């Protein structure tokens, strides 16, 4: 049952620029953030300091991945199935306005049409003469601004809900159970949760994209917001084929420092959505400082690839400041590769994008994703892909600054 009290709060939240009085119960006072010490991303568990990129790649990066697997997201219990096939199930057709071409590809994980499968809805600019860079969209959040296609990008909407429903008690109906040993009816405490299944599905989508001549497989970006922001972060950390990861308001267990215990916490998230994670994660509900990782290290796992962290000014539950601090704390790993991460020490003013290889902005408004976010994402991708534009703002909504709200995820807080 959805939390009626929350929806009343959400309506009041959208009408005010100050902290509403009826926020979900949590700690929202910056002055009451407890003292904490972050794990050093460049220090191994045995105390050895990482001083070069070889040691990062061969030792520390795999170690941090294992810590996230064991304690947070769970071990991914399947790789690419050898039987996996795909086919175009809705041939490429021009949109009614002739600006884009759409097609649907279905992936059959067991090589059988009556087995587990997942659809990819692919849209590319109709006038493309060469393979195009694309944004892989996790979860789906409305129709993207047409400016994305005008600027030469495509989109790939991945039906990750077909491999794992976003509901409790769905293990036996998910891809996780399909690959589990016979008779297993629930995951082990260190095995993948829903976020892990969604991340796995995005890697299988990437398997297909590497074969599509219309797609530049070297320029595939991940994009997700809220719970799907968590999924793209975990997918990008595990699969280095993704060129850039764009995470929007992923909050606790996605992109913010959980040791701050501001807004959504490990205790709250493992209380209302434990199925997103490995069972072990709930062990840290009341002792978050014992967790051997924090989310600056997940951001650091993208290095040396670019990554972008987006927040919203009034998304208090998601702790915008904590996301900035996580991005900043990932900087030393980028420095190891000779790159600049954020390049700033202070939390920037609202709608002031910052960063080099780690991008960040805190836009006006509440939880969701809008055209302002997309404008920053496209500018960031342009810069890292080396696309020069005489007018980066283009036309339409991006030029006028009249940003549409493309996606607002309402049901994000604890449910009864």
Active site residues: 226, 367
Contacts of 350 (CB under 8 A, 6+ apart): 313, 362, 363, 364
How many other C-beta atoms lie within 10 A of the C-beta of residue 114? 7
Phi-psi region of 44 (alpha: psi -120 to 50; beta: other; left: phi over 0): beta
User: C-alpha angle 310/230/81, rounded to 5°?
Assistant: 135
3-class DSSP state for residue 323?
Answer: helix
Task: Name 123's bridge partners.
Answer: 102, 155
Q: What is the dihedral sign for C-alpha 326, 332, 337, 342?
A: positive
Checking 52-57 for CB contacts under 8 A at 24+ apart, the result is 52/336, 53/304, 53/336, 53/337, 56/303, 56/333, 56/336
* Cis before 9 (ω within 30): no
Task: Name 49's bridge partners.
Answer: 43
Between the CA of residue 93 and those of 24, 86, 126, 128, 153, what are the distances in Å? 46, 19, 10, 14, 17
């Amino acid at each position: 049952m959805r939390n009626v009290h929350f929806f009343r709060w959400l309506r009041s939240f959208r009408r005010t620029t100050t902290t509403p009085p009826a926020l979900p119960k949590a700690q929202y006072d910056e002055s009451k953030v407890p003292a904490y010490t972050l794990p050093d991303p460049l220090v191994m568990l045995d105390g050895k300091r990482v001083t070069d990129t070889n040691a990062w790649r061969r030792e520390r990066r795999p170690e941090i991945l294992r810590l996230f697997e064991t304690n947070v997201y769970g071990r991914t219990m399947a790789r690419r199935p050898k039987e996996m096939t795909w086919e175009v199930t809705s041939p490429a057709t021009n949109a009614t306005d002739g600006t884009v071409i759409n097609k649907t590809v279905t992936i059959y994980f067991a090589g059988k049409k009556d087995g587990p499968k997942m659809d990819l809805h692919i849209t590319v600019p109709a006038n493309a003469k060469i393979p195009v860079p694309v944004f892989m969209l996790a979860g789906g959040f409305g129709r993207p601004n047409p400016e994305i296609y005008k600027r030469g990008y495509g989109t790939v909407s991945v039906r990750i809900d077909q491999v794992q429903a976003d509901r409790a008690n769905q293990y036996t109906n998910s891809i996780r159970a399909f690959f589990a040993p016979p008779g297993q009816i629930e995951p082990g405490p260190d095995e993948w949760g829903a976020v892990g299944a969604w991340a796995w599905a995005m890697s299988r989508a990437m398997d297909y994209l590497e074969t599509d001549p219309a797609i530049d497989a070297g320029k595939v970006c991940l994009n997700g917001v809220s719970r799907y922001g968590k999924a793209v972060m975990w997918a990008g950390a595990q699969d280095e084929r993704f060129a850039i990861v764009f995470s929007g308001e992923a909050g606790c267990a996605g992109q913010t420092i959980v040791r701050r215990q501001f807004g959504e916490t490990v205790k709250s998230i493992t209380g209302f959505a434990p199925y997103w994670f490995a069972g072990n994660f709930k062990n840290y509900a009341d002792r978050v400082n014992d967790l051997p990782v924090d989310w600056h290290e997940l951001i650091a796992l993208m290095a040396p690839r670019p990554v972008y962290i987006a927040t919203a000014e009034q998304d208090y539950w998601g702790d915008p400041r904590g996301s900035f601090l996580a991005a900043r704390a990932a900087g030393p790993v980028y420095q190891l590769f000779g790159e600049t991460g954020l390049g700033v020490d202070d939390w920037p003013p609202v709608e002031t994008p910052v960063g080099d290889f780690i991008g960040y902005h805190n836009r006006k408004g509440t939880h969701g994703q809008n055209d302002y976010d997309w404008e920053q994402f496209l500018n960031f991708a342009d810069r890292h892909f080396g696309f020069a534009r005489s007018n980066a703002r283009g036309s339409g909504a991006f030029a006028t600054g009249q940003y549409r709200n493309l996606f607002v995820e309402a049901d994000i807080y604890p449910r009864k």
